[in-house]
Amino acid sequence: MAEQKKMVAEITSMEEDFAKWYTDVVKKAELIGYTSVKGCMAIRPYGYAIWENMVSLLDSAFKKTGHKNVCMPMFIPESLLNKEKDHVEGFAPEVAWVTHGGNEPLEERMCVRPTSETLFCDYYANTIQSYRDLPQLLNQWVSVVRWEKTTRPFLRSREFLWQEGHTIHETAEEAIAETEQMLNVYADFFENSLAIPVVKGLKTDKEKFAGAEKTYTIEALMHDGKALQSGTSHYFGDGFAKAFGIQFLGRDNKLHHPFQTSWGTTTRMIGAVIMAHGDNNGLVLPPAIAPVQVIVLPIAQHKEGVLEKANEIKERISAFCRADIDDSDNSPGWKFSQYEMKGVPLRLEIGPKDIENNQCVLVRRDTREKYFVSLDELETKIPELLKAVHDGLYNACLERRERMTYVARTLEELKDIADNKPGFIKAMWCGDVECENALKEQAGVTSRCIPFEQECLDENCVVCGKKAKHMLYWGKAY
């Protein structure tokens, strides 16, 4: 246990300094490597394997709902970016500009895509003639660049990986249904794969995406009570279509502007997993996205038959889970800490005594509970325990969110909660941006979303006292 304590002592405790804890986990779990490219990440094999699992699950959900992948250029000529007014105002201040190709200055400078609405519009304008060409349900997995001043691995970096879905439809109703469908795909992924409960809702006008009519969002609560915007889905109406001159010949033989959506999730989801499930021993990974679901650790591996048995078990369970074995000459204590740090959901220990008793020891990462399991039952017990880890993580998150969600009925009450109790604050709002700005200034919180599940906490706006339109979630956010 001495070694284990030493290892654990190497990371800052989250109660002491959450930001430092986060950075320690990101480094010690080998998710991110050093790079001399300021504000950018080098995603290491273990971090990237988590991303690959996320991509694989989301991509198949996109394909099941009829979407196809494409790849647009990474550059946007300045004149193209400028075509939609709100959009360019939102993004131009934070793009990276390419001005030279080799030794020659470019005729027109281009930015590296911060998002690709303009490129998809350019593409649609040339591929859509009639209603028969609609809908187009597209997606791409690429990286984008936003020139952030302060950066943190996975949460906010100058380059990040993401998927951006872009769709275009004959009617507004169809486009809105798509926007909502994709928000639900995201919410299902968070709850069923990442074991993170989310609040689904609509962004206020102030917080919506540049150029969107409506932005839907899923919001998750982290260990420290801060909110993380975890996925967004935008409905554009026909604003982009008008700005880019996209038209189709309708069933009525007249020209119409089609309706668009876009929706995205990013490597930020890795940050969400770290901050939702991690603990003072390191990362805790939900089984669905864990690169290794079960780590097999031979105990007293120099003893006859142990390594053979451990390898045999690893091969056998690889038929139904992602398993690995560590037969290095590091001590068991070191290995326990190491795979706790890496968040492997289940540890399987097998030593001479276990072999004698035809059993092994399974240890859950989330609760550290130990189970003595007969070797004849691995095929049923391991999937059961993986499911138990998932459910345990989900329920712990949900319980925490409920515990850290507060109701404020007056401005004073809201300020007091904001100052002293990290978490979500539910409060009524009149719909005016002035009241939204006032809360930012006076309480340091921003509106997270207008949740789909509305409650009437009070008749009036918590700020101005006028008639309230919505119940809102407020919070401090990453």
Contacting residues toward its own copies, per CB under 8 A: 33-37, 40-45, 48-49, 51-52, 68-77, 80, 92-103, 110, 112, 119, 122-123, 126-127, 138, 142-143, 145, 147, 158-159, 161
Element (H, E) at 176: helix 172-192
Work out how close the CB of 49 gets to its own copies at its nearest, in angstroms, rounded to a whole number. 7
- Longest Cα separation, the chain: 82
Contact 10, 264 (CB under 8 A): no
Query: Which amino acid, one-letter code, is at 310?
Result: A
State how far the Cα of 447 lies from the Cα of 5, in Å rounded to an integer: 41
Contact 426, 471 (CB under 8 A): yes
Q: Sign of dihedral through CA atoms 178, 180, 182, 188? A: negative
Q: What does residue 364 show for φ and ψ, rounded to 5 degrees?
A: -75, 135
> Which residue's CB is nearer to its own copies, number 64 or number 100?
100
Work out how close the CB of 28 gets to its own copies at its nearest, in angstroms, rounded to a whole number. 13
> Which residue's CB is nearer to its own copies, number 94 or number 180?
94
Work out how close the CB of 97 gets to its own copies at its nearest, in angstroms, rounded to a whole number. 4
Q: Which of 332, 323, 325, 324 is nearest to 300 (CA)?
A: 332
Work out how close the CB of 320 gets to its own copies at its nearest, in angstroms, rounded to a whole number. 19
Q: How many CA atoms lie within 13 A of 349 on its CB side?
A: 20
Work out how close the CB of 358 gets to its own copies at its nearest, in angstroms, rounded to a whole number. 33
Work out how close the CB of 282 gets to its own copies at its nearest, in angstroms, rounded to a whole number. 19
Q: Which of 26, 2, 3 is nearest to 14 (CA)?
A: 26
State how far the Cα of 277 lies from the Cα of 293, in Å rounded to an integer: 15
Contact 150, 177 (CB under 8 A): no
Work out how close the CB of 141 gets to its own copies at its nearest, in angstroms, rounded to a whole number. 9
> Which residue's CB is nearer to its own copies, number 158 or number 335?
158
Contact 159, 276 (CB under 8 A): no
> Which residue's CB is nearer to its own copies, number 200 or number 268?
268
